[in-house]
Amino acid sequence: MKIGITCYPTYGGSGVVATELGKALAAKGCEVHFISYALPHRLNSFVENVIFHEVEFTTYPLFEHSLYGLSLTSKMVEVIQYENLDLLHVHYAIPHATSAYLAKQILKKENKQTKIITTLHGTDITLVGLEPSFLPLVKFSIEESDGVTAVSRFLKEKTITNYNINKDIEVIHNFIDTEVYKPVNHEQFKKHIAPNGERILVHTSNFRPVKRVPDTIRILKEVQKKIPTKLVLVGDGPERSECERLARELEVHKDVIFLGKQDGLTEILSSSDIFLLPSQSESFGLSALEAMACGVPVISSSVGGLPELVRHNETGFIAEFGDVQRMAKYAIDLLTNEKKYKVFSDNCIKLAKDNFEKKLIVPQYLKYYEKVLNS
């Protein structure tokens, strides 16, 4: 099978999942063609059966803004035509699903019937897509896709409700490779971060306002009243300077370690005690799943798809977003009860392996591809 994949090549969850899916499909013998403006950051070494096609877009004085969506369409047409793709799988609706639809219309004149599958990841539906300037376009692009998947039941229901869509949407959860994300011993990192045996809270994200990263610093402040604790923040984005300011204001700046963007997450997560995800909106929570696979219990908000992933009082705890006091209380409860913590940690690893392992989820995509191709 020849498959085209379009995604954002950045550190966000949609790009990570799309890239890992492509690599897994290539390992199963599929020929995978990535089409994007840059090489996906998880595609950092040679992978057999994977080809990258860069979307080039030029600037012209007449055009005040970039015409990436149209450049993407042209590249899709070229790759579908000359690589003879069976289907095009686009991740994140804007502008990928719209560009794919245009490409399909252009190729109709040549009797080329390539199927299009759109995977919805979250903010493309719950935030960006609801903008008045985008809503009709997103609705149309979803309805015109040959197949549509969503990464959680929450996102499927939200899509149907927000866009009044009468379309069959398949729920295929995000996944991880538990051979990569698993508990590892990294004493050197742990001693560097917590030289006096302090407990370690951790958070990874793109530091957007919706992630509520400053709440992790407020949680740290409360936990420190009972237990010596450090907070490790991985990632970067618009909220970072606010987090640095807040850490100084709360006088915990010496205990907040900003690591920036990192690829070696397994060692960082395995060295931590609790993963914090106090988001205001979260369609799945891939970062939380990565932590759980490493045996790290999660304390999160109760929004979006998180309750489908974090099992309250089994693999962690969930609370209303913004409820810093309750999240801190849950953290203290786990950090002061060694036996309970061990049970939660074991539950996390088992849940990840039994429900979200790559070997379980990738076949679901292949089965869905066959269903769409045969429809």
Q: What is the pLDDT of residues 63-96, one digit of tens each?
A: 777 788 899 999 999 999 999 999 999 998 889 9
pLDDT value at 11 more than 70? no
Domains of the chain: 2-175+357-373 (3.40.50.2000), 187-355 (3.40.50.2000)
Q: ∠134-136-140 over CA atoms, to 5°?
A: 115
β-sheet bridge partners, residue 53? 35
Residue 130: is its pLDDT beyond 70? no
- In whole angstroms, what is the distance from residue 206 CA to residue 209 CA? 9
Which has the minimum average pLDDT: 67-76, 77-86, 129-138, 244-253? Answer: 129-138
The pTM is what? 0.89
Q: How far apart, in Å, do the first and last CA atoms of the chain sit?
A: 16
Least confident interval from 129-138, 142-151, 184-193, 211-220? 129-138
Q: Give the pLDDT band of residue 128 (cuts 50, 70, 90).
A: low
The three-state secondary structure class of 166 is coil
**pLDDT for 275-297, tens place per residue?**
999 999 888 999 999 999 999 99
What's the CA gap between 295 and 229, in Å, rounded? 19
Nearest Cα neighbor of 272 from 237, 316, 310, 309 is 316
What is the DSSP-derived secondary structure letter of residue 224?
A: T
Report residue 197 as tokens: 């045996």
